[in-house]
A = this chain, B = another copy of it.
């Protein structure tokens, strides 16, 4: 079994209103050292596969078909082997 840790971020050229709002909130709280905030998503998916290459292919497929919007988002992931 593998635990896939998936990081989804907006492409650098895409506006991030959520990140701007968070930045404003942090400034209001006195965290003036904050230059920029980009908000993204994080997912942990437990994949029941024994073969690492197969698991990787599956997770890439999930990202491309459902988890991300390829027009505005990038993704990367890592696989961690876990005991069944």
Contact = CB atoms under 8 A, between A and B. Distances in A.
Interface residues on A, range: 20 to 34
A38 B67 CA distance: 12
B22 A43 contact: yes
B46 A36 contact: yes
Interface in A1-47: 1, 7-9, 19, 22, 25-26, 29, 31, 33-47
Q: How many copies does the complex hold?
A: 2
Interface string A48-60: 1100000100100
Interface of A: 1, 7-9, 19, 22, 25-26, 29, 31, 33-49, 55, 58, 61-62, 65-67
A40 B42 contact: yes
